[in-house]
Structure 1
Amino acid sequence: MHITIKDIARHCGVSEGTVDRAINNRPGIKESTRRRVLEAAKLLNYKPNRIAQSLATGRTMTIGIICFDLYNNFFTSLIDIIEANAKSKGYFINLILTHRDRKKETDGIQYLVERLVDGIIIFPVGIGERYVEYLKSIKRPVVTIYNKISDEFAHISVDDCSAMSDAVKYIKSKGYERIYFITPAIGIQEKNGLNVYTLKRRLNGYINGLRAYGINHDPLIVEGMDFDRAFKNLDLSQKTAMLCVNDTYALEVMRYFRERNYSIPGDLGIMGYDNIDVLKYIKPRLTTIEYHVEKMGELVFNTLFDLINGKQVPPEILLDYNIVEGETI
């Protein structure tokens, strides 16, 4: 027997409109009534007709997520949390990976638009005026995370510049005199027209920290993972630390030096950024910067949800962070 909204309304002694508002998470009913209706729907094994719902409401109850890759464990965790928050509001997600390719990003967005998603969350690699105009043309709510595109789209991230500056301050407080910054190839990515907003924010935070906290050397920047070339003439006559743009790079740096019989932190210190889950299995425990990925995922989805429902949202939200004192600094 196919259970309908009418059956649930009869079971609960409420109107069909009340059931519709409860199931589709619309305002206008008491929370206790909403819970009672949802419990009845579960009890009666109600299966919504998604096509009929879409025709009636103009919504598909789906959202899209465009992400450049899952290489950084942080992105996997964040998408899990976004998906859980979406599910709690009755939404399903479509995930598309672009592998840091601008064409794949726009192709993915077009794919989602053609499937009538209600909104899109983007970890963007695209940038520029033409890209902004394209995103405006799709007539869908958009929230960006990690890299920023424009003030015209809601953006959620961490205060990366301040975080890296504070990391320099922390490293200096531990007696280090020379601090390298390890990052992907910002210059090459920027030359190829990719969005490097967050990488540059973290780099600028490092440079600001050197100036603010009395580190008496020019910026020492290593772009990419050709560590043999970068550290060929490494001078450890001063106490030296490697400040890495994320934990993934920090673990690569740690592996490189430990394979060459360097002691961490005896010979040099290493600090990361993100506090990814895998760190709990790594010894020595990496010193890193942490922010609340659960809060970020919740904010990202709720911001998109509010936009879908026609509400005003802040143009940018920057989350707080803290330093996790591990064993590598």
Structure 2
Amino acid sequence: MTEPALRQRGNRAVFGVVFLMVFAFSYSEQVVSGLFPVVSGGGQTMWGIAVVVVDTGVLASVGLMKRVITKADGDAPRLWGWWWAGVVVLLGVDVIRLLPWHSIQLDLLTATVYAAAMGWTTAASLNSDPLALFSTARRVALPTDWQRVRAIVPLVLGTYLCYLAASAFVDYFDVNTMRTLDAATAELIAEMDIPEQMAVLSQLCEGAISPAFFQQIVGVLPVLLLTLGIEFNYFRRTLTDAGQRAATAATVTVMAVGLVGALSTLPWDGRGCDDVLSSWHEYLAFLFAVQGIFTGLATLVWLLVSSTPDVAVDESAVT
């Protein structure tokens, strides 16, 4: 295989790693828990095992892509210790979630460990040393590693907040709130006068998330996108390496999906039995919105913290 063809194949693998980890892996639990009862024809008692199987398949695919990226970079095999450690931790957390233990503290701990393991596994899969994030010497010695690690930091932080949001949705919000009327209640209300029916129906059903949250997201996300694209020249600054291009594309996609998720809730006002989102619609829109807004904010802050000017200023030319 010629060098340009090998490089192109490596670039595709870089995009594959980023998008598989950010989307397929991050949302495997939500997708499987929703689809498993439909596919299996049964309950959700085995969906946790299905999540482990799906995550194993995703990580195996990422491992194959890591080999392609390493070969395209012209490096000897490296960072497999980091990669295997991440795989063990990620699948270990999946197994822990199968156990009947549940508490807010445990959810916070597992989300933190999971996000950290996802971050270093993604970095290692991109053939970049995760320690470049903390070591100046490694950043100087391994500039490509630093470019790729730096590019995925906001995505990992946004995913971490998404994990916390998923736990908060279950632990703090009233997810069992009445969204539709049961037959008995509907019969009782049908016997009331029309004004009474309207008053009762407007108060009886509501969603778990305030509609005002989604309305604010719709207003904030476009501003963040414009700020990143224009004020900080984000898109031009992050197209020098395949890892940076992949992370930029994933960041824009996450924010766009979050905006679409929030927009999809606007036709419903969140109150009244005929005007409440379904639980899955609300849950996914909430996760997409949280991940989109925090990925955008993390990217904005990270640019201020880690970026350097494209061209150094020549002081002798300044009069």
Instruction: State the TM-score, normalized to the length of structure 2.
Output: 0.27
- Greater percentage in helix: 2
Q: Which has the higher contact order (CA 8 A, sep 6+)?
A: 2
- Greater percentage in strand: 1
